Amino acid sequence: MPPHPGGGARGRWKSLKVQNRSGLEETEALLRIQLDQVDQIQTRRQTLTQLIDQLNQQRRQCDHLGESLQKAQNALQSCDHQLAQIRAELEAVSNQLINWQRIRDELQRCVSAAQDVMHINLLSFDQSQLCVALRPRPSSHLSTNQLEPLKLSVTWSHDDRFHLEVGGELSGLVEGCSTGGRGQLSAALLNVLSSFAIDWRASQRLLVYLKSASLVYHLEVGEGYPRSGRVRLRSVRRDGLALDSSGLQPGRPDASLTEWLVLLSASSDGLD
């Protein structure tokens, strides 16, 4: 028998209803899956955003570290340059110190050599200047208490040259200044020691030149010397006895004190 028309429609309706319920359930399941996937995607997106932020922050930190590293390298190079300069300056100072030590040793040798003919007192000494006081050995009629010391000053310049000058009360009388290289100091110092064994008596304007322990010359220095006053030989004495000095005259009447001393130093001791 054919199915009942009414039962057939109802059956199809029930079948469609079942299918619809099944499709709805399936759609809901798919929707839940999609929502879960969306949540997962959102979570991943947030995670990726955080990672990107972290990477950007790390990149900025790297950039900052790079700048800091560059600054550190520049500072290191500057320190190396300064260190090289300091080393060069230290080497120059060390070489200068060696030169000063050589100069000091040479001065000490000069002083030691001069002590054979003069009494020497060291007044001051530093890296640029040496000051000494020289006292002639007493003669038979002059004691050391009667003789004023002769002061000498040796000043060194940066180019390793010296300036030797007679000081004290004789600074305006004796032309005892000389300059030169370090190798000429010994000759200049010994020349002063041998040529100017003198005693200046300011109140009498009298210069006493002790050529030896027994031979003494007296030079009178005129008022206003060296501009106006002249120098003349007052007397010559050997062992306290006066000698004829008429033959001792310089080449010109206005001879300087240095010219007189050079003449007397080079003259023969065989005076009458």
**What percent of the chain lies above the pLDDT cut of 70?**
73
Residue 178: band (very low, low, confident or very high) from pLDDT cuts 50, 70, 90: low
Contact call for residues 134 and 144 (beta carbons, < 8 A): no
Residue 158: band (very low, low, confident or very high) from pLDDT cuts 50, 70, 90: confident
Give the pLDDT score at 173: 46
Task: Report the C-alpha gap between 15 and 17 in whole angstroms.
Answer: 5
Handedness of CA 233, 238, 243, 248 (dihedral sign): negative
Contacts of 123 (CB under 8 A, 6+ apart): 131, 132, 133, 151
Task: Report the C-alpha gap between 128 and 186 in whole angstroms.
Answer: 17
User: Above 60 in pLDDT, residue 225?
Assistant: yes
Instruction: Describe the strand order of the beta sheet including 118-125 as a list of residue ranges.
Output: 118-125, 129-136, 150-156, 161-166, 178-181
Beta bridge partners of 218: 208, 235
User: Above 50 in pLDDT, residue 172?
Assistant: no
Task: Note the pTM of the prediction, 2 decimals.
Answer: 0.39
Helix/strand/coil for 99: helix
Residue 104: band (very low, low, confident or very high) from pLDDT cuts 50, 70, 90: confident
User: Above 70 in pLDDT, residue 242?
Assistant: yes
Helix/strand/coil for 82: helix
How many residues are given for the chain? 272
Contact call for residues 224 and 200 (beta carbons, < 8 A): no
- What tokens does 265 get? 């130093």
Task: Report the C-alpha gap between 231 and 105 in whole angstroms.
Answer: 39
Contact call for residues 182 and 164 (beta carbons, < 8 A): no
Give the pLDDT score at 191: 60
Task: Report the C-alpha gap between 255 and 88 in whole angstroms.
Answer: 53
Cα–Cα distance list, 83 to 76, 91, 237 (Å): 10, 12, 68
35-51 mean pLDDT: 88
CA angle 208/211/212 to nearest 5° reads: 115
For residues 117 and 86, which has the higher predicted lDDT (pLDDT)?
A: 86
Indicate the domain borders of the chain.
102-266
- What tokens does 210 get? 């002790």
Residue 218: band (very low, low, confident or very high) from pLDDT cuts 50, 70, 90: very high
Helix/strand/coil for 28: helix
